[in-house]
């Protein structure tokens, strides 16, 4: 079985850093191990090193700058996240958009460093052009549903099916779907519609019992992938 891809974006919630981030990451690690499914967590840059020491999860940055070494105050380079222990990064999240030339440059640099990449986009029309840049995956998220509790897989299923059709034009690029994913059923439906996995943030980061939420997501993702094969 090809495992489903579960990406949890920590964003900048109160529990996205410090001791609380370690605590939530350990809970996610437990589920990842119990189910034998790798889970990606995209964390604030300040937490990459610490979390890479504490947990066996796939750690991503949430953004990288495409500038090269030099006088660029405040920049976070692909080289820096790799040195800190990240395996990859999100790029172009709706909340951290960058230009197309910056996506291209960042992807080239990340590939040369052996870093994985997930490019976020907000419409299916952009799936094919961005897939041609050969990221590891594309994460499609209609911005109006992000953080809404209304799942893309239920509210806009056609976004997923169209994105899946588009990504198939470029072999080797995975398609993830996100925005408003709240329940295991939302995850199941996204994968049934053809996504290789999901991206999620608020349903986990704002949960009273994040472990239970992630477990429900993972169990449903496995069920959906099994059924598809
Ligand atoms: O932006 C997202 C993941 O990158 C999705 O956010 P929500 O899960 O909060 O809708």
**Per residue in 177-222, pLDDT tens?**
999 999 999 999 999 999 999 999 999 999 999 999 999 999 999 9
Q: Known binder of ligand: residue 10?
A: yes
Alpha helices, H only, the chain: 18-35, 48-54, 78-84, 100-112, 127-131, 152-155, 157-167, 184-192, 202-205, 210-228
Token pair recorded at residue 149: 């509790």
> Residue 119: which pLDDT band, with cuts at 50, 70 and 90?
very high
Which of 6, 11, 145 most suits a substitution to test ligand 1, by most atoms within 8 Å of the C-beta?
11
> 69, 79, 141, 208: which one is catalytic?
141
Confirm or deny that 202 is annotated as ligand binding. yes
In the reported structure, the alpha carbon of residue 146 is separated from the centroid of ligand 1 by a whole-number distance in angstroms of 5
The minimum-distance atom of ligand 1 relative to the CA of 149 is 10
Name every protein residue with a CB atom under 6 angstroms from any ligand 1 atom.
9, 93, 141, 146-147, 178-181, 199-203
- Please name which of 210, 224, 222, 212 lies closest in space to residue 14, comparing C-alpha atoms: 210
pLDDT digits (tens, 9 = 90+) for 123-162: 999 999 999 999 999 999 999 999 999 999 999 999 999 9
Q: How far is the CA of 147 from the centre of ligand 1 (A)?
A: 6
Average pLDDT, the chain: 97
Q: What is the ipTM of this complex?
A: 0.99
Residue 105 known to be catalytic = no
């Amino acid at each position: 079985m090809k495992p489903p891809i579960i990406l949890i974006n920590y964003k900048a919630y109160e529990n996205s850093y410090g001791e609380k981030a370690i605590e939530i990451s350990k809970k996610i690690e437990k589920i990842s191990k119990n189910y034998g499914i790798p889970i990606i967590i995209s964390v604030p840059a300040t937490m990459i090193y610490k979390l890479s020491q504490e947990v066996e999860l796939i750690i991503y940055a949430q953004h990288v700058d495409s500038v090269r070494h030099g006088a660029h105050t405040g920049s976070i380079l692909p080289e820096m996240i790799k040195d800190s222990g990240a395996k990859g990064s999100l790029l172009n999240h709706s909340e951290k958009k960058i230009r197309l030339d910056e996506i291209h440059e960042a992807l080239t640099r990340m590939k040369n460093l052996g870093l994985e990449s997930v490019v976020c986009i907000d419409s299916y029309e952009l799936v094919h052009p961005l897939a041609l840049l050969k990221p590891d995956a594309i994460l499609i998220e209609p911005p109006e549903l992000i953080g809404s509790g209304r799942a893309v897989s239920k509210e806009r299923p056609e976004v997923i099916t169209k994105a899946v059709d588009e990504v198939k034009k470029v072999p080797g690029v995975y398609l993830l779907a996100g925005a408003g994913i709240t329940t295991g059923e939302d995850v199941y439906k996204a994968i049934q519609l053809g996504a290789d996995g999901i991206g999620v943030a608020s349903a986990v980061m704002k949960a009273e019992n994040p472990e239970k939420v992630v477990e429900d997501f993972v169990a449903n993702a496995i069920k959906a992938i099994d059924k598809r094969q």
